[in-house]
Structure formats: C-alpha cells, structure tokens
Structure 1
Amino acid sequence: MFFDEVKAKIISLLEDIIRVHKSIKVNMETFANYILQTRETSDVKAFNSCNRIIDESLDISDIYKDFVDTMTSQTSEFEEKDSGWAIEEILYVEVNVNKNSPLCGSSYIKLPKFVENKKAVP
C-alpha cells in the first residue's frame, strides 16, 4: 500500500527531472522499521535498488514497477533468511537522481605517417 501511495509523486518527480536533463540515473532506497520479536527490539533497515538509466523514450510507470518489485523481493528475502526480523512499517523512500552524461566519441586526431618499414607511430 505504501508504494501505491507514493507512486504518483515519484513518477511526477522523475518526469519533471527528465524534461530538464533528458537522461538521468536513478535508484531508490527504502527505509523500514523492523522488529525482532524474540528480543523485543526494533531497528531501521534500508534496502536499495541498482542504478537505472532513464530517458524520455522509456515508460516511467514500468520502471517504477521494476523498482517496487526489487524492493519488495529484497525485504521478503531478508525476512525469510532466519533473521527473525519482521517488517513493522515502511518509513520513507529516497529517490536518488543524478544527471547522466554518456561519453561521446566525436573527436579525430590525425596521426603522423609511418616511418620506413616500421608499423608504429614515431
């Protein structure tokens, strides 16, 4: 339910940033409160997704769904690893955005001619 509540905000945020920068690198980090019932303690734990390059040609809703699937599978795996921790509530999600500046190969350097029979640059 938490991810459904924040979906519109996150998608709107990413669309606004893509309009400005055209290509961005994004990852999400979810912070949740976990409880360890055997010791009656609680702790905040974080799980993050991999960076994903997004541009104007991609459907942000599909990318958001991939992020949510990754986050929910990570939390499920953590709970099932005999850790004893159980999720109590999701506190918040951080969306980390960086401008993506891919390298361009657009320069030409003229090399000197080969010397005699050598096949090397002097």
Structure 2
Amino acid sequence: MAEHGNVKINAAFNGEFIAGDKTAVKTIATKNQKIYPTSDLNQWYTKHVVDTILTSLEEFQERDSGWALSRILDFTINVNKFNPLRAGCHIQLPRKIMLKRAVVNVQSTDNACFAWAVVAALHPAKKHPERTIEYPHYSTVLNLCGIEFPLTLPQISKFEKLNTISVNVFTTEDSKIIPLRLADDKMEKHVNLLYVPGNNEAHFVCIKNLSRLVSSQLSNEKCKKYICN
C-alpha cells in the first residue's frame, strides 16, 4: 500500500482436517477485496478475512459431519495493484444520491469530468448547474500542465501542487459514502468530490453539501452535521 496506494487482496487458508482415522486438506480462498489508504485495516481484516474463513469452516464442518480442524498448514495473502480512479464522461447518478441533492453532476462530453467538478465547486452556477456553459472553461481557471484525462488517482497530488487546491475524494461502497482519498493538508481552496463507479466507466461529481450527503448514514437525527475535512 505504501508503494501503490490502493490494492486488492485475497487470502488462502489451507487446513488439515481429521475424522477418525481419515485425514483431508481443505482450502478456503476469499474473494479479492479492495483496500484504500483510508480503510480501517482491522475492520477490513475482520470482515473480509476472519469472518469469511470462519463461516466457511463452520459450513464445511456442519456439511461433512465429523471433520475437525487438526492444524493450519499455511495462510497466504495475495496482493494486486488496483487503480480505481480513471474517470471520464457523463453517467447517470444512483437515485439515492440524486435525491439528496448534495452533489453537482456537470454533464460534459469530454473526459475531463474531474476538472469540471472542481470548477463547479470553486465557481458555483446560479442556475442549471449541470450545464458546462454555466461555468468558465476549466482550461482558463485551472493549471493542468502535465495532467492527462481521464484522470487517475496519483495525478491528484500533482494537480493540488499546480493549483494550490486541496482535494478530498469520496466513493460509494455497500450503499455508503466512504473516503477514497484525503488531502494531506486542507488549503484555502478546498473541494470535495464524489467518484461514482459504473459498469464500463466512472465519473467525478462535485459535492456541494457533504453533511447532507452522508448525514443519514451517521445518525437518524435530522440536523446539520459538521464533517471534518
């Protein structure tokens, strides 16, 4: 993770089981699961490794009655590079997000949705915020020297330095909004963006009200919440 930032990991457990005078080896492999720099590693490990393997062990022992774990032969962790951020084009937002009215989804026809989302945050439109014509063109207000679109996660740090703008990126996972990438320091100009994955493409939108976007998953109290950037 120190080298690549985001990774996908799966685990393989091999155990020796005995039933009377019989011996068998059982392998349990977990699915590839994503880990982001902001993920809680203890929580992730418990959910995707420990709980998954223990559940499979219990099912095996119940299904094939009489087998008991004798010893653990080995436990392997497989790590794969994962680049979740390559976003461009316009896509339809999930209805649940649209109903919150907490984001601005600029409908561009190019691959620069990241740039349009930043512009929407810095130069809010008075009407029709989904239209690019309501904003200054990103090339006139942002320094994009060396930035390539569709944008990838490592380029955001470069963008921050070029423009003196800090950027937090959130995404959706299991119907919740979670941080995907948090700026090291909050600058005077700061934007929160939502990365929305799709089937064959993905998209950046501007978060205009982070409290409204995540409020319902924090508590049932219908009051404004102040989220630390």
Provide structure 1 residue ranges, at least 5 long, that are not aligned to the other structure: 1-17, 110-122
Correspondence for 1:89 among 58, 66, 71: 71
Aligned partner of 2:8 in structure 1 is 25
- Give the Cα–Cα distance (whole angstroms) in 1 for the partners of residues 54 and 43 of structure 2: 15
- Give the Cα–Cα distance (whole angstroms) in 1 for the partners of residues 84 and 50 of structure 2: 26
Using the TM superposition, give the Cα deviation of residue 32 of structure 1 relative to its aligned residue in structure 2, in angstroms.
Answer: 0.3
- Give the Cα–Cα distance (whole angstroms) in 2 for the partners of residues 82 and 30 of structure 1: 18
Using the TM superposition, give the Cα deviation of residue 103 of structure 1 relative to its aligned residue in structure 2, in angstroms.
Answer: 5.5
Using the TM superposition, give the Cα deviation of residue 44 of structure 1 relative to its aligned residue in structure 2, in angstroms.
Answer: 1.5
Aligned partner of 1:14 in structure 2 is none
The letter of the residue matching 2:64 is D
- Give the Cα–Cα distance (whole angstroms) in 2 for the partners of residues 82 and 43 of structure 1: 12
Identity %: 32
- Under a length normalisation based on structure 2, what TM-score does the superposition of the two structures give? 0.37
- Give the Cα–Cα distance (whole angstroms) in 2 for the partners of residues 32 and 84 of structure 1: 15
RMSD: 1.8
Structure 2 counterparts to residues 1-122 of structure 1, below 5 A: 18-37=1-20, 40-66=21-47, 67-102=49-84, 104-106=86-88, 108=110
Provide structure 2 residue ranges, at least 5 long, that are not aligned to the other structure: 90-109, 112-229
Secondary structure at the aligned position of 1:47 is classed as strand
Instruction: String of CA shifts for 1:81-108, please: whole Å, max 9, x gaps.
Output: 1343221111221101100023613473
Instruction: String of CA shifts for 1:5-38, please: whole Å, max 9, x gaps.
Output: xxxxxxxxxxxxx11100000011111001122x
- Give the Cα–Cα distance (whole angstroms) in 1 for the partners of residues 85 and 3 of structure 2: 19
- Give the Cα–Cα distance (whole angstroms) in 2 for the partners of residues 58 and 102 of structure 1: 14
Using the TM superposition, give the Cα deviation of residue 55 of structure 1 relative to its aligned residue in structure 2, in angstroms.
Answer: 1.1
What is the number of equivalent residue pairs in this alignment? Answer: 90
Select the structure with the greater relative contact order (CA < 8 A; seq sep ≥ 6).
1
Secondary structure at the aligned position of 1:75 is classed as helix
- Under a length normalisation based on structure 1, what TM-score does the superposition of the two structures give? 0.66
The letter of the residue matching 1:24 is V
- Give the Cα–Cα distance (whole angstroms) in 2 for the partners of residues 27 and 57 of structure 1: 18
